[in-house]
Structure formats: C-alpha cells, structure tokens
Amino acid sequence: MSPLTILAFAGLCLVLALTPGPDTFLVLRYSMGRARDGFAAAVGCSLGSLVWAALVAVGLATLLEQSAEVFRIVKIVGGLYLIYLGVMAFIATRRSARAAAASGDEGPDPRSGEPATAGVRGWSARSLLAGALSTLLNPKVGLFFLAVVPQFVPAHAGIGETMLLGAVDALVSAAYLGAVVLLASRMVAWLKRPRVTRTLERVSAGILAALGIGTVVAGAEG
C-alpha cells in the first residue's frame, strides 16, 4: 500500500469526521465538564473505529451488509444508547444546578478557570466507555469500512492492510475530536458563566437524545 493511498484515505476520513455526528456531540457534552473527560471520550471513539476495522478484517461485519435485520437491531440499540446518554446528561446538569443553588456556589472561581465539575473524580473511564460504545453501536461506521476500505486496499489484502487503514481513521478521528475538546474547554474557561455552561450541556444532551430518537425511528421503520 503506497503512502499516496494512505494519504488519500486519511483525507477522506477527515472529510467524514468534519461532518457532525453522534461522536462529535458526545465528546462536546463531556468536554463541558472537564477536558480530560472529553479527551477520554475521543479516545473511546477512536478505539471503537479500530474494533470496527478488526471486525471487517475478519469478515464479521459483513453480517451488517448481508442481513437487514442485524443492521436494524444494531441501529435501534445504538439509538437507544444515545437516548440514554442524552437523558443521563440532562439529569446530571439538573443535579449540578440544584447542588450549586443549595451551596450558594454559582460555578467556578473566575480566577481558576476550572469548571464547577472539576473536582469530580472517576469519570474518565466512564467517558472512554461511552465513546467506544457510541462508535461500536453505530452501524454506519461498520458500513463505511465495508464499502470504502476495499477501494483502498490491494486485491487479496490481509488483515494488516485493513487494520492499517483502521488506525489511520482512528488517528484522524482522535485529532479532530481532540480539537473539539480543546475548543469546547476553552469556551467554558473563557465564558466562566455557569448558567451558559449548563445551557450548553443541556443543548448537547438534547441533541444526543434527538439523534437517538431519530435513529430508533429509522431503524424501526426499516
């Protein structure tokens, strides 16, 4: 596989990454709390891409292409998971708002630049898992590898070539989502307004839930 082929595939991955999807909004949601959570979610999404590449390499992902029923089930489960993430995120913002009101703390100290949730521990592993599941339960990622990767690998290519392209996609995804994390965290640090932060968190949570509902409806109709 030539460097030019890898570069062309990376360019295609970048174009697709720039199209906002569930992964982007998920990473944005976690970045509103702490940058480390956003980075963890981004890494999880990239790991999910690698798993899809492995499934395609060993031929398991062809079930999605050959079975409309399997595709529909994965799509519905993925949509339900997005709804779950959106609802839980909205509940978390409500709880943080009530806690801030009860303690009289309206948010971060303007001098510190740290969000109000910066003291919460143990969320990075959960963010990593959420990102991985979001990608794994998105059958469109699997279909992307099934439809696009064969166009870039030589005939009778082995698992190594497919995994190489999977790694390229994961790196491109991590770079793009990492930029989203940096932008979101800097916006929060710059605004330093807890009401605005909670509004953004709720909007991103609502978008996740809406994407999930749309996915479930589309899957059920299909």
| pLDDT tens per residue across span 122-160 | 458 888 998 998 888 887 787 788 778 777 877 666 688
Mean predicted confidence (pLDDT) in 217-221: 70
pLDDT at residue 168, as a whole number = 93
**Considering only CA atoms, which of 47, 20, 26, 46 is closest in space to residue 38?**
26
Mean predicted confidence (pLDDT) in 185-198: 67
pTM across the whole model: 0.66
Cα 199 to Cα 95, 97, 177, 188, 221, distances in angstroms: 13, 11, 21, 11, 33
Q: Where are the domains of the chain?
A: 22-109+119-221
Residues 14 and 12: their CA atoms lie apart, in Å, by 5
**Considering only CA atoms, which of 17, 20, 41, 19 is closest in space to residue 29?**
41
pLDDT at residue 112, as a whole number = 35
Residues 148 and 170: their CA atoms lie apart, in Å, by 15
- The more confidently predicted of residues 177 and 88 is 177
| pLDDT tens per residue across span 49-86 | 999 888 887 776 565 556 666 666 766 776 676 677 67
Mean predicted confidence (pLDDT) in 83-101: 67
pLDDT at residue 174, as a whole number = 93
